[in-house]
Structure 1
């Protein structure tokens, strides 16, 4: 018989979660440290090597943008996916299942070693591959990290790129599509909340049966579950924030006390900063165990305990316990001290080698602020009005798009189809430049006209530089030559940079006009900075990591990020040292950049972050 949730008050379920973590924190901490270390130094490099090996076998120099799709559709790409998807699924499942086992035994107040827990997880794999692999792969690799916003160490989270969502929300149909996709993801993630617990604790090998049972357990209990989960998360976040405040406060006090004592202050600030970073890492280390422990606790409240197949360890008899106490008495007597000593030792070692983990630095150079299609808060995108708005906002560049017209001119417009901005169901390549000029562009409360590239150059001359994206619609006659001719006729070589999603166009422009700075826009795949033959690289923000920025700098390639509209992301990318951002809100970007440089916490931030390890 299934137990009633009402018999266990919400506050007790919440406190139980933290009791379980307090009981099992050592096993969880050790396991997560080991697994994350293996992921960082073994699993990810191995997966990357396999992926790049198949790229070479298929004759692909890299795997970005459309080339990635070509590789995926090739025989080598299909073989690669058939190898890597099972590997990734198994690695993620093993991490989750071990944490669930530790949580399960933690609730029973029973200790279980990591080796038995791991072996128990391995025992599920044969039936997983036999009955439910496809469903489990989709759930672990797609639905969980995308719909729920988190995942395993190997795949922490997935986001729909902003350049996709940003374009979708510009139309009612796109908005409905986006809401529908996210709604489906959320729906199944909720229904499958207990899926992994049912597989691990009850040994249900069929993905379909586990999913169905999860939905049944959740019936009419959604609000209570949400309340418990949000309460646990909030309490944990409050704890983390309190910890950060204490550390930052201590660091700030030390900074102001010993700012002039450079030698001592240098030692203190290094230790203080690394302590802050390490504390943050340790706090994030428990987020996934916290979630799984919460779900496991909720599951055990609802499920029939007779369905569990996990067997608790057999209690040792008195003779065995006496023998153990005689031989390990000293260890037991000094257990707490040894744990503290071990923790301090590990803490000190990690502080010493923290550069391996990485650090965040505030860039000393000024990043370029580029107004995306002009300043759309001042006029319709890609119009003279929007460009004038970018000039008034003080943007370093205005990013514009050009498409070839029917008569071979270049119009400054983003969409091949004119419906979204003009209301006219027509294609750019079906109209001449004069015909395009006569159309009224409407966006928000603004109106404007479509201009030619030459007209925009004339308007922008001496006021703002242009970042020109060459776009294609498939009906071009002489796109590259036309573009170069317009640039040269207007003597704009030193007042513009050029970018494109089409790698072939990037090569053609650079070959025909070496004096131009030409960049490659990357929206998908794994960029290899050494192989990319471009003067700079433009990346969608979800792809940008510190390692990518460092690689770009090693190969002397400026890196720009698009489209960055979130203020927190602006702070993050400026701090990471990108060479520029493309944004719809240039004034916000300037404000954030100024805040980082001259705000009240700027001196302390630079003192903490600009360290030599």
Structure 2
């Protein structure tokens, strides 16, 4: 075991030395690749998807209407499938280009950019349907680890929404299952690390490549894990030291050289992002080289000369100048944004919205006592849920089944409003009667609390449900300046057509392409929210609410993404975080706030 560690350490030192000589070339390779992906490929695919949706007269695409698109608009579904396959092709090309490019730099084969690009396209002959299925299965199996090892912004949108994660971790048996699957995925990632270069660079068929990779790595898991840790740990330590050093330097400027502190903070933020990206380049190159070297060692791809070659200085100097130029372009290009962030904290103040009318478990969700307690904290809105009852009335209730809160195993459509409002709901150590919408609305009016009303729909709703809702409540909602949102686009469309003055939002649990609807705005699951989405919404004069945001750092992130409203179960925490942001802390603290509120992947110009 000790000899294995020594060999791994020797290999690590060798590749680190190589990176130190060629860092400029590696930086340009990955930086330019990411620029092309971010500025050309992703916009091209997004534009294509939008045109397909417009052609098919489909206003939006999300998880809830995929089946409807397939059955009602097969032509649109087919074209979207082609765009999805094109996405996979670009992902394949990106990985192939980086693998070939890193090999070219490491071995000093002196291939030009266009020669590498040509070789990458030539690799498409390896891309059969079986290869695509194998790659999809590979990334699915090693998902917990693949997002770190083989990351690509082309697949950045394919994230797991927080509401699904919360659902899982609120059930112990699912939590245990996920932990087991995560550990299994990590182990598979270690065992199958050389598979990706084998699939792209090797000559074996996908099935044979998988089997050979599996057999070749038998007994090598600990050695591979040690090699991966040798890459992860130094990268993590350097990142922490970098942040600490810049924070200390900015603190010194804030205290001793205040006339230079703003300029220093602006430069520090740009420098921080550029250096963190350089560390990411180091991390990526080391892991790609590890995977490729394993594939060669196990004869999954052809062996090549690994002898270290001292690079020619003029070529190395050229790449380093190019990389430094790109870094300076990044710092200068983003300095205006950083200046606005540092001087203004927030460009807009997001609305505070209490999810289901509670704050930190201060009552039973969607009940009047919880409303009265929460209203004392003066949220901008209290969000509630409505269901239609058996006698075509409206009850304030989130779940379609009453059993969880009341113990009554029935749906609102099986009971009359009088029967439901006799039930007692229990949660968070509190108890309260289930409220009708009339009762809840009256209580909100008495304490001058504005509401954000979610209209829940089911297949059992009456055909006249929206007619009754509009007739009974539209004028009151408008008078109170209340708002409505719904997962059902028919509800949103009906209200926008018949009560255009009533602000009505469309709830999207997951959005793949920015929707084009008549909604006043969108209530988006926070995991899938980005500055691109909020910018697009504001360009269409639509607002964006983020749900459900309960973590302090996530609240800050949503605020800096210019979300117009934040829906939360932790109203007190949200109000405190917004006060903290708007108190204009020191530039050193804002530097840390930026790191917490923004992810490098979401906002890096690469």
Range class of TM-score, shorter chain: 0.7 to 0.9
Report how far residue 472 of structure 1 moved: 0.3
Q: Which one scores higher on RCO, CA 8 angstroms, separation ≥ 6?
A: 2
Sort the Cα spacing of 1:131 and 1:539 in 2 relative to 1 into closer, same or farther, 3 A: closer
* Residue number in structure 2 paired with 1:327: none
For residues 247 and 67 of structure 1, the distance between their equivalents in structure 2, rounded to whole angstroms, comes to: 47
Is the CA contact (8 Å cut-off) linking 2:484 and 2:505 kept in structure 1?
yes
Is the CA contact (8 Å cut-off) linking 1:71 and 1:77 kept in structure 2?
yes
Which of 551, 555, 578 is the aligned partner of 1:570? 555
Sort the Cα spacing of 1:97 and 1:213 in 2 relative to 1 into closer, same or farther, 3 A: same
Matches within 5 A, 1:427-506: 427-461=411-445, 462-477=447-462, 478-487=464-473, 493-506=479-492
Which of 249, 264, 289 is the aligned partner of 1:293? 289
For residues 488 and 77 of structure 1, the distance between their equivalents in structure 2, rounded to whole angstroms, comes to: 36
Sort the Cα spacing of 1:353 and 1:100 in 2 relative to 1 into closer, same or farther, 3 A: same
SS at match of 2:89: helix
Is the CA contact (8 Å cut-off) linking 1:259 and 1:265 kept in structure 2?
yes
Report how far residue 561 of structure 1 moved: 0.3
Task: Identify which range, 290-299 or 544-553, moves more after superposition.
Answer: 290-299
Is the CA contact (8 Å cut-off) linking 2:250 and 2:588 kept in structure 1?
no
Sort the Cα spacing of 1:500 and 1:255 in 2 relative to 1 into closer, same or farther, 3 A: same
After superposition, the C-alpha distances for 1:67-100 in whole angstroms (9 at most, x for unaligned) are 4543345322342244223322222223223433
Is the CA contact (8 Å cut-off) linking 2:29 and 2:101 kept in structure 1?
no
Sort the Cα spacing of 1:275 and 1:432 in 2 relative to 1 into closer, same or farther, 3 A: same
Matches within 5 A, 1:191-590: 192-200=192-200, 202-206=202-206, 208-260=207-259, 270-296=266-292, 303-304=297-298, 306-312=299-305, 338=318, 340-354=320-334, 361=341, 362-375=345-358, 377-461=361-445, 462-477=447-462, 478-487=464-473, 493-526=479-512, 528=514, 531-590=516-575
Sort the Cα spacing of 1:223 and 1:372 in 2 relative to 1 into closer, same or farther, 3 A: farther
Task: Identify which range, 380-389 or 354-363, moves more after superposition.
Answer: 354-363
Which of 38, 42, 50 is the aligned partner of 2:36? 38
Matches within 5 A, 1:597-612: 597-598=582-583, 600-601=585-586, 605=590
For residues 27 and 586 of structure 1, the distance between their equivalents in structure 2, rounded to whole angstroms, comes to: 49
For residues 589 and 538 of structure 1, the distance between their equivalents in structure 2, rounded to whole angstroms, comes to: 17
Task: Identify which range, 399-408 or 179-188, moves more after superposition.
Answer: 179-188
* Residue number in structure 1 paired with 2:601: none
SS at match of 1:373: helix
Task: Identify which range, 251-260 or 515-524, moves more after superposition.
Answer: 251-260
For residues 60 and 23 of structure 1, the distance between their equivalents in structure 2, rounded to whole angstroms, comes to: 52
Q: Confirm or deny that 1:89 pairs with 2:88.
A: yes
Is the CA contact (8 Å cut-off) linking 2:388 and 2:395 kept in structure 1?
yes
For residues 489 and 533 of structure 2, the distance between their equivalents in structure 1, rounded to whole angstroms, comes to: 19
For residues 498 and 391 of structure 1, the distance between their equivalents in structure 2, rounded to whole angstroms, comes to: 18
For residues 198 and 119 of structure 2, the distance between their equivalents in structure 1, rounded to whole angstroms, comes to: 14
Is the CA contact (8 Å cut-off) linking 1:501 and 1:520 kept in structure 2?
yes
Report how far residue 299 of structure 1 moved: 5.4
For residues 467 and 425 of structure 1, the distance between their equivalents in structure 2, rounded to whole angstroms, comes to: 28
Task: Identify which range, 347-356 or 90-99, moves more after superposition.
Answer: 347-356
TM-score by length of 1: 0.82
Sort the Cα spacing of 1:236 and 1:373 in 2 relative to 1 into closer, same or farther, 3 A: same
Gaps of 5+ in 1: 322-330
Sort the Cα spacing of 1:175 and 1:489 in 2 relative to 1 into closer, same or farther, 3 A: farther
For residues 356 and 46 of structure 1, the distance between their equivalents in structure 2, rounded to whole angstroms, comes to: 27
Sort the Cα spacing of 1:6 and 1:340 in 2 relative to 1 into closer, same or farther, 3 A: closer
Sort the Cα spacing of 1:246 and 1:398 in 2 relative to 1 into closer, same or farther, 3 A: same
* Residue number in structure 2 paired with 1:25: 23
TM-score by length of 2: 0.83
Is the CA contact (8 Å cut-off) linking 1:13 and 1:298 kept in structure 2?
no
Report how far residue 225 of structure 1 moved: 3.5
Is the CA contact (8 Å cut-off) linking 2:405 and 2:426 kept in structure 1?
yes
Q: Confirm or deny that 1:76 pairs with 2:75.
A: yes
Task: Identify which range, 14-23 or 231-240, moves more after superposition.
Answer: 14-23
